[in-house]
């Protein structure tokens, strides 16, 4: 695929976000696709993004500690809060070792600061989040 500016078919324009030159799946892409799967209630696909022993903590409280509990948790969340959606406000891939990333997210009128730890296979192994009480509407 050429990167020169020539007349292109409109359908090729949609492929610009697909970064074929990147070396593997980025952590940001994994988190975005995970959020999309949860928001779309595609919970059978969570194993694409989460390790079997995934754990999530919010304010040091364990929310789930494996893939089955994660599915159960997000099923319940989707049932109780149909209009609430996870939205990534900003994302930082800033760990020199490459196994953690930080994100700021909103969900159900709350803002969260989350640290994602990734396994060697690139899946999410730990989500450690805190509710941001300083600026929930930013």
What own/partner pairs with CB < 8 Å and gap ≥ 24 does 103-108 have?
103/31, 104/132, 105/35, 105/129, 108/81, 108/84
3 in a structural domain: no
d(CA 121, CA 34): 15
Domain count, the chain: 1
Residue 43 lies in a domain: yes
pLDDT confidence of residue 62: 98
pTM of the model: 0.77
Strands 100-107 and 124-132: unpaired
Q: Which domain holds residue 40?
A: 25-132
Q: Identify whether 19 is part of a domain.
A: no
Task: Look at residue 82 in the predicted model and tell me its pLDDT.
Answer: 87
What CATH number corresponds to the domain at position 112?
3.10.450.50
- pLDDT tens-place values along the chain, 138 residues long: 444 433 333 333 333 333 333 335 689 999 999 999 999 999 999 999 999 999 999 999 999 999 999 999 999 999 999 899 999 999 987 666 789 999 999 999 999 999 999 999 999 999 999 999 986 444
């Amino acid at each position: 695929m050429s990167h020169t500016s020539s007349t292109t078919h409109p359908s090729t324009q949609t492929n610009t976000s697909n970064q074929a030159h990147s070396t593997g799946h980025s952590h940001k892409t994994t988190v975005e696709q995970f959020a999309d799967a949860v928001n779309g209630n595609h919970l059978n696909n969570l194993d694409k993004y989460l390790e079997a022993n995934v754990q999530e903590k919010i304010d040091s409280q364990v929310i789930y500690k494996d893939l089955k509990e994660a599915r159960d948790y997000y099923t319940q969340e989707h049932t109780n809060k149909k209009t609430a959606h996870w939205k990534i406000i900003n994302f930082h891939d800033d760990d020199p070792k490459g196994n953690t990333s930080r994100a700021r997210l909103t969900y159900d009128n709350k803002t969260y600061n989350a640290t994602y730890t990734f396994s060697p296979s690139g899946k999410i192994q730990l989500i450690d989040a805190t509710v941001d009480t300083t600026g929930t509407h930013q």
